[in-house]
A = this chain, B = another copy of it.
Amino acid sequence: MELILDKNKKKEHLYLEVFHYYRELIMEKKLPPGSRMPSLRKCSQELKLSRTTIENAYLQLAAEGYIISKAQSGYYVTDIADRQHTSVRKTEKHAQTPCRFDFASSGVDRESFRFDLWRRYIKSALRQDERLLSYGEPQGEADLRDTLADYVRERRNVLCSREDIVIGAGIQSLLHILCPLLGQRRTVSFPNPSFVQGSTVFHDYGFQVDYRNKDCDIIYVSPAHMTKWGDIMPVSRRLELVNYSAAHGSLVIEDDFENEFVYLQKPTPSLFGLAGGQNVVYLGTFSRLLLPSIRISFMVLPPELSVLYRKKADQYNQTASKAEQIALCQFIRDGHLAAQTRKLKRLYSVKLKALRSAVREVFGKDAQIQTGAAGTSLALTLSTTLTWQELQKKAQTNGLRLQLLREAPGKITLILSCSSMSVADFVPACKLLKDISQIQN
């Protein structure tokens, strides 16, 4: 095996070729476990590539566990090749075909995110040495809060100042700060039991958690994500909710998850906006617009809670990465978040239609499909003699990941997400699903 390099390729990708070259040598044990990698200098001379290129390739190999560095000595091949061979035995519990089709993903479309662009903003943020040498503001970076105030005013009619915005690493981090501010309110209602992360926090704080009970002190809703297949709350119902909660003194927590992906109608107004900023807490997140691995969410507090929060603000450390906050602020100001949102909305709208067509094509015109006005998923009800456990087991064996909505005798309803899968896979994935749901064990 020889490394043949196309030197005309763009420089950023050269290191990947070096990476793949060595990865193969290691996995085929031509470089056996424990052997020493050539030094950067030597390797760079032999391959006639820059030291940086080699170093990047080595860093990547190390990051993925193929080699490991020993201080003052160099890089050594790990036993990854051995481990791969025995991994089936070791992790018998997880023994399964690699996932070919993932209908259960909560990730984002791999083509949709401009990694190069995000890397540039992170790089620029990491150049602000002075700013990174200190702890972040407990409430979140002030410039990001300014930018978010503009963002929610323009897009969601949420009027607030930077003082009312709290940034945190995900919705749970924000609820951990919010719950202790809620005083005498002790009961909370969720639309259904599916948002476990949210209800867990309330439960942990000793709240009584209930479902669809409008007599609770706190009403938690996701108006743009009422069901997993994308039902949204109509404006009439939003007004009703705002009026009811105002009359009964209950607090509404509006989790505006996926409000960006409402396709079939005009953007619906936020509850916070409809209520004139009274008695509603607004929650926003960027995990579906950027990368799920970037942990930045925010909440907008109504006036009384904002006052209570500021008295305690210094008692909570900021959880979100400062570098990522700085990068996101600039990313939004330069218009990239708006562009990314438009792009994703177009993309998911097309993909969701394609998925619906694929389901109809494979399961026939009478397939029981539920679709909504938003989101990245549809619900499909299958007639099958299998139980969910049986179906899931067969799916795993066949490299298919599924997500259950509910099970009834002879019927299984699945949530099929289009977000991570490629359009070309929809029909084959549906065919596979049909096959395994019809064949007995």
Contact = CB atoms under 8 A, between A and B. Distances in A.
- Chain A, interface size category, equals 35 or more
Contacts of A204: 176, 179-180, 205
Interface string A52-73: 0000100110111100111100
Contact of A319 (B108, B125, B128, B295): B295
A173 B201 CA distance: 12
Interface stretch (A110-118, A227-235, A380-388, A427-435): A110-118
A316 interface: yes
A405 interface: no
A62 B333 contact: yes
A279 to B, nearest CB: 22
B206 A334 contact: no
A205 B330 CA distance: 37
Contacts of A407: none
Given A319-B170, A319-B319, A122 B132 contact: no
A126 B119 contact: yes
Query: Sorted from nearest, which 7 A-B pairs have the closest CB atoms?
Result: A293-B322, A169-B319, A180-B204, A71-B335, A200-B315, A135-B292, A321-B321
Interface of A: 56, 59-60, 62-65, 68-71, 105-108, 110, 113, 115, 118-136, 143, 169-173, 176, 179-180, 196-197, 200, 204-206, 287, 291-295, 312, 314-324, 326, 329-330, 333-335, 338-339, 420
